[in-house]
């Protein structure tokens, strides 16, 4: 099950399919869309007699996840849950965002805003990671969260919000690459230079972030490792009769590229 609007999910699905092939399993993909909600997708997959479920970035509640685990082995990728019987493979999102804050502060930034991704578990963990890191650096008074929904459009809307202010932040950390790219697009169209006027970072290390004309500083979630561990968890349950719960937390990797400032363009008043 994957959100087809997410470029990161698309890349992760490729890795899952390759890993499943190596283990002799076929993958049936259920696509979450604005008109086809996650719960409906899951029921469709189960109606096809799928033996197990891998849910990417699931936002199903704990009771629903527990019910699914009674019907088939379930692995959730990307979010934390304490639901018994549900295996988890994820990166430590709070630490990942914290690494971006650390990077920006080391470069001299202190007015660092966060473009959020909504109220779901994953964006909430990233928002918490941002606020904790800001407080750790003595920047509690500079905490600034702009609400978004993980889409390019919300990034463009966030840029409009920033451009309407009398003073821009020196940096923005978006909850994912898609919204960061929307933010970049609108800022550049308005004549704001990146990273000269403002630094921008995302999260996911998607293929778009690696393109030369975007070159986005971001955080890698190690999709290959996540896919490997998720498929292994399913195979252990189906073929190895494992019943104990697995909770795998991988270390996120900061990937520094062009869109974060080297600190040389910050004025003295911007430095901490």
Asked whether residue 37 falls in the same domain as residue 73, the answer is yes
Q: Residue 195, preceding bond cis, omega within 30 degrees? A: yes
Q: What is the pLDDT of residues 96-126, one digit of tens each?
A: 999 999 999 999 999 999 999 998 899 999 9
Output the CA–CA distances (angstroms, integers) from residue 30 to 4, 14, 76, 211, in the order listed. Answer: 9, 14, 14, 28
Reported as half-sphere exposure (CB side, CA atoms, 13 A), residue 12 has a value of 32
Report how many domains make up the chain: 2
Q: What integer pLDDT is reported at residue 267 of this predicted model? A: 38
Q: Do 56 and 155 belong to one domain?
A: no
Range of 55's domain?
Answer: 2-91+221-251
User: What per-residue confidence (pLDDT) applies to 10?
Assistant: 86
Which residues 6+ apart lie within 8 Å of 227 measured at CB?
12, 15, 16, 18, 19
Question: Quick one: pLDDT at residue 268?
Answer: 34
Q: For position 242, what pLDDT does the model report?
A: 85
Same domain (yes/no): 60, 192: no
Same domain membership, residue 177 and residue 105: yes
Instruction: Give yes or no: residues 18 and 47 share one domain.
Output: yes
pLDDT of residue 33: 83
Strand, coil or helix: 270: helix
Assess whether 102 and 194 both reside in one domain: yes
- Calculate the average pLDDT of the chain: 91
Q: Compute CA distances 226 → 13, 52, 161, 172, 252, whole Å.
A: 11, 17, 35, 27, 11
Going by C-beta distance under 8 Å and a sequence separation of 6 or more, which residues neighbour residue 191?
none
Residue 141 and residue 36 share a domain: no
User: 60 and 139 share a domain?
Assistant: no
Name, in order, each residue with C-beta under 8 angstroms of 38's C-beta and a sequence gap of 6 or more. 1, 32, 55, 58, 59, 60
Residues 83 and 112 in one domain: no
Which DSSP category does 252 fall into? P
Residues 173 and 152 in one domain: yes
Dist CA 84 CA 265 (whole Å): 51
Pair 98, 211 in one domain = yes
Residues 175 and 241 in one domain: no
Locate 268 and state its tokens.
């003295």
Task: Encode pLDDT of 241-264 as tens digits.
Answer: 888 999 999 999 999 999 997 544
Q: Would you state the torsion angle of the CA atoms of residues 116, 121, 126, 130, taken in this order, to the nearest 10 degrees?
A: 80
pLDDT of residue 1: 58
Per-residue pLDDT at 105: 97
**Which parts of the chain register pLDDT below 70?**
1-5, 262-272
Q: Which helix (H) or strand (E) holds 242?
A: none
Structure tokens at 164: 């309407």
Q: b/e map of 82-95 (b: 16 or more CB within 10 Å)?
A: ebebbbbbbbbbbb
CATH number of the domain that residue 77 is part of: 3.40.50.2300
């Amino acid at each position: 099950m994957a959100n087809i609007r997410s470029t990161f999910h698309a890349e992760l699905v490729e890795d899952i399919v390759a890993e499943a092939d190596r283990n002799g399993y076929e993958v049936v993909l259920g696509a979450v869309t604005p008109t086809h909600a996650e719960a409906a997708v899951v029921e469709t997959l189960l109606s096809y007699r799928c033996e197990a479920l891998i849910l990417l970035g699931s936002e199903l509640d704990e009771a629903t996840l527990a019910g699914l685990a009674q019907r088939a082995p379930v692995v959730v990728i990307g979010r934390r849950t304490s639901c018994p019987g549900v295996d988890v493979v994820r990166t430590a999102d709070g630490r990942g965002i914290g690494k971006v804050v650390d990077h920006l502060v080391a470069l001299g930034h202190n007015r660092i805003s966060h473009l959020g991704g909504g109220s779901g578990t994953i964006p909430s963990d990233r928002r918490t990671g941002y606020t904790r890191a800001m407080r750790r650096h003595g920047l509690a008074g500079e905490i600034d969260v702009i609400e978004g929904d993980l889409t390019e459009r919300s990034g463009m809307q966030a840029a409009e919000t920033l451009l309407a202010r009398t003073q821009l932040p020196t940096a923005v950390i978006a909850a994912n690459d898609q919204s960061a790219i929307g933010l970049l697009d609108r800022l550049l169209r308005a004549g704001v230079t990146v990273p000269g006027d403002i630094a921008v970072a995302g999260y996911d290390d998607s293929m778009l972030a690696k393109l030369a004309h975007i070159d986005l500083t971001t955080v890698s979630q190690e999709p290959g490792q996540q896919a490997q561990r998720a498929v292994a968890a399913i195979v252990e349950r189906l073929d190895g009769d494992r019943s104990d719960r697995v909770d795998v937390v991988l270390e996120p990797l900061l990937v520094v590229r062009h869109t974060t400032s080297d600190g040389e363009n910050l004025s003295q008043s911007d430095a901490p």
